[in-house]
């Protein structure tokens, strides 16, 4: 690849980074919302809500995201009544379809992450809070949620990284994110290795930053006695001295 | 090591000896390779007979050359290597004349050319423009779909990139689905997929927009389809081209194309090959 082509490829790819980031940025909060609703429904006393939530998680975890995207995008558009309904305003747009499909899928996985986090909260802590006279809501807000969040964060950070990578599937429904632009550049330049290595490097860089940020968040949320030793020494000076002696 | 090499070269020269008489025989019998699965250019009847626009034309060419021809069906992927190995003398079947192929191989003169066309819903009111600038003005601001890596995409990039929103598709089927669903206002592709689509019941609301866009106006679009040969096949190419010149003048190419495509895809005789 000559310099001119390299520059052309680099600028095109740089423009597409924002599309990829926008997809992920829209998908993650929506997915979190779906997951929170599902978790609430699974814990609710209503049988119907429990069944719907469990079915949702089962279906979206057990089918490939690509199939979900195709069903939503090409499948629903087959029905004339869908095309004449107000939902078409959203479903007409490939970007919106990609976000809906991906956040439904991310929601199902995140619901499982939340279930794991909640299961890891010691029953004793909840009982203690209740016996102190805290209401159910306050117990959840002040005791259950913080502990569950800490426990679930490593698994959730995994989900964030996976979601960012799965945005590449949006190119199958004409959303020109990183992978889509790369495929187009490949047919223009025939520089398959160069283009896709550049794309891989961009995904790697984005995910490295994400992983580092999430790891820092995880550490800052951990109580001091749970942090790794090296970090503990740095953060608590008197302790490092006592260990040194 | 050297022993093996000597043995190998022995085998190779033996092969060459075996191939030589076959090549000599090829002077009489012309071996034609074709895909057999690319309607309407080349296809197979349920009885296993090859048929199609290219097959019918090639049979006429053979008649004019007074040579016997033997057709063999083989999937497109393997055809060029087989041609280079000398398994065939010529390949036919809607093969586009491209500069990349011309570097390694030779083409007969072009005998057919399909324009590219926009297609849109009949209700869009985009049809009936007689010139490209008129259509271009009507398309401004629309969302237009095109298959990536095709001549149509090249056309979009060259002519319309700044005026419209371009959506890129992996294949013609996805493009058709979104055109039918109304997600895109119009789509650009070769004329033959549009004919196929508009003949289906689902494709009923779609129409092909005029004008036709082809290499006469946009020289980067392909000059059409030709028979593909090795560069060493001078004699056969000359005979084939001469026969094509006659068939074109007599209107035979036009007749066959109207039979298979429903309209005339024939190309005027090449002035350099056929003379004025």
pLDDT tens column, A175-232: 999 999 998 888 777 788 889 999 999 999 999 999 999 999 998 888 877 777 655 5
pTM of the model: 0.73
Predicted local confidence at residue B14, as pLDDT: 47
Q: Which of B168, B172, B202 is most worth mutating to test chain A (most A CB atoms within 10 A of its CB)?
A: B168
Report the pLDDT averaged over residues A144-173: 94
Predicted local confidence at residue B220, as pLDDT: 82
Label residues A217-237 b or e (16+ Cβ within 10 Å = b).
eeeeeeeeeebeeeeebeeee
Predicted local confidence at residue B154, as pLDDT: 86
Q: What percent of chain B has pLDDT over 70?
A: 90
Residue of A nearest to B182 (CA): A92
pLDDT in tens, B187-201: 999 888 898 889 889
Predicted local confidence at residue A234, as pLDDT: 57
A162 pLDDT band (50/70/90 cuts)? Answer: very high
Q: Which H/E stretch holds residue B71? A: strand B68-73
Has residue A240 got a pLDDT over 60?
no
For the structural domain made of A3-244, what CATH number should be given? 1.10.3720.10
pLDDT in tens, B99-144: 778 888 999 999 998 889 999 999 999 999 999 999 999 999 999 9
Predicted local confidence at residue B62, as pLDDT: 96
Asked if B149 lies within 8 A of A187 by C-beta distance, the reply is yes
Asked if B181 lies within 8 A of A78 by C-beta distance, the reply is yes
Place of tokens 């089918």: A63
A146-155, B114-123, B217-226: lowest mean pLDDT where?
B217-226
ipTM over 0.85: no
Identity of the highest mean pLDDT range in A64-78, A230-244, B30-44, B161-175: A64-78
Has residue A132 got a pLDDT over 90?
yes
Residue of A nearest to B166 (CA): A174
Nearest to A74 among B148, B167, B177 (CB): B177
Asked if B167 lies within 8 A of A94 by C-beta distance, the reply is yes
Predicted local confidence at residue A208, as pLDDT: 96
Q: Where are the domains of chain B?
A: 12-113+223-274, 116-208
B116-208, which class in CATH?
alpha beta
Taking a contact as any Cβ pair under 8 Å apart, which residues of chain A between 6 and 65 contact chain B?
Answer: none
Instruction: Name the nearest CA neighbour of A54 among A67, A38, A34.
Output: A38
The C-alpha of A25 sits at a distance from chain B's nearest C-alpha, in angstroms, of: 23
Asked if B145 lies within 8 A of A74 by C-beta distance, the reply is no
Asked if B182 lies within 8 A of A83 by C-beta distance, the reply is yes
Q: Is A184 on the interface with B (CB under 8 A)?
A: yes
Q: Is A74 on the interface with B (CB under 8 A)?
A: yes
Taking a contact as any Cβ pair under 8 Å apart, which residues of chain B between 128 and 157 contact chain A?
Answer: 145, 148-149, 153
Predicted local confidence at residue B18, as pLDDT: 46
Predicted local confidence at residue A28, as pLDDT: 97
Q: Which two tokens stand for residue B90?
A: 């010529």
Has residue B26 got a pLDDT over 80?
no
Nearest to B148 among A83, A92, A184 (CB): A184
CA torsion sign for B136, B137, B140, B143 is negative
Q: Is B158 on the interface with A (CB under 8 A)?
A: no
For B12-113+223-274, CATH number out of 3.50.50.60, 3.40.190.10, 3.90.79.10, 1.10.3720.10 equals 3.40.190.10
More confident residue, B191 or A13: A13
Predicted local confidence at residue B215, as pLDDT: 80
Q: Where are the domains of chain A?
A: 3-244
Nearest to A184 among B168, B177, B183 (CB): B168
Predicted local confidence at residue A235, as pLDDT: 54
**CA distance readout (Å), A150 to A107, A111, A135, A155:** 19, 15, 22, 10
Has residue B11 got a pLDDT over 60?
no
How many residues belong to chain A? 245
Mean pLDDT of chain B: 87
Q: What percent of chain B has pLDDT over 90?
A: 57
Predicted local confidence at residue B17, as pLDDT: 45
Q: How far is CA B5 from the centre of its chain?
A: 42
């Amino acid at each position: 690849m000559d310099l001119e082509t390299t520059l052309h490829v680099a600028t095109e790819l740089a423009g597409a980074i924002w599309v990829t980031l926008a997809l992920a940025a829209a998908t993650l909060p929506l997915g979190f919302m779906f997951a929170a609703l599902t978790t609430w429904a699974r814990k609710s006393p209503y049988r119907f809500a429990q069944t719907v939530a469990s079915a949702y998680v089962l279906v979206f975890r057990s089918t490939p995201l690509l199939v979900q995207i195709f069903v939503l995008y090409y499948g629903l558009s087959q029905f004339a009544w869908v095309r004449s309904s107000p939902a078409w305003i959203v479903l007409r747009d490939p970007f919106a379809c990609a976000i809906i499909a991906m956040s439904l899928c991310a929601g199902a996985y995140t619901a499982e992450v939340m279930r794991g986090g909640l299961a890891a909260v010691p029953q004793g802590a909840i009982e203690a809070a209740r016996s102190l006279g805290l209401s159910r809501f306050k117990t959840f807000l002040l005791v259950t949620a913080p502990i569950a969040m800490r426990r679930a964060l490593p698994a959730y950070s995994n989900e964030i990284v996976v979601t960012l990578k799965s945005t590449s599937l949006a190119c199958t429904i004409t959303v020109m994110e990183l992978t889509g632009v790369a495929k187009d550049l490949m047919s223009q330049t025939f520089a398959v290795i160069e283009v896709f290595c550049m794309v891989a490097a961009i995904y790697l860089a984005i995910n490295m930053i994400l992983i580092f940020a999430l790891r820092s968040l995880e550490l800052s949320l951990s109580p001091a006695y749970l942090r790794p030793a090296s970090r503990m020494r740095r953060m608590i000076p008197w302790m490092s001295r006592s260990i040194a002696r | 090591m050297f022993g093996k090499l000597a043995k190998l070269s022995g085998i190779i020269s033996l092969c060459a000896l075996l191939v030589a008489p076959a090549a000599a025989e090829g002077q009489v019998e012309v071996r034609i390779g074709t895909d057999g699965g690319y309607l309407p250019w080349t296809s197979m009847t349920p009885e296993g007979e090859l048929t199609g626009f290219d097959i019918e034309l090639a049979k006429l060419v053979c008649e004019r050359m007074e040579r016997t021809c033997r057709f063999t069906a083989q999937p497109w992927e393997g055809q060029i290597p087989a041609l280079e190995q000398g398994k065939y003398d010529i390949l036919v079947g809607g093969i586009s004349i491209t500069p990349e192929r011309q570097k390694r191989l030779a083409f007969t003169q072009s005998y057919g050319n399909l324009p590219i066309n926009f297609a849109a819903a009949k209700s869009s009111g985009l049809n009936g423009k007689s010139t490209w600038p008129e259509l271009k003005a009507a398309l401004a601001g629309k969302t237009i779909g095109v298959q990536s890596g095709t001549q149509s995409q090249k056309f979009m990039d060259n002519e319309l990139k700044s005026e419209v929103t371009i959506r890129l598709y992996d294949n013609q089927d996805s493009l058709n689905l979104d055109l039918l669903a109304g997600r895109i206002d119009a789509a650009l592709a070769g004329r033959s997929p549009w004919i196929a689509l508009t003949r289906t019941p689902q494709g009923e609301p779609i129409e092909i927009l005029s004008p036709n866009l082809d290499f006469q106006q946009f020289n980067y679009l392909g000059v059409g389809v030709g028979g593909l040969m090795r560069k060493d096949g001078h004699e056969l190419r000359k005979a084939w081209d001469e026969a094509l010149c006659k068939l074109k003048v007599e209107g035979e190419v036009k007749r066959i194309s109207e039979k298979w495509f429903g309209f005339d895809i024939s190309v005027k005789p090449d002035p350099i090959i056929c003379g004025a």
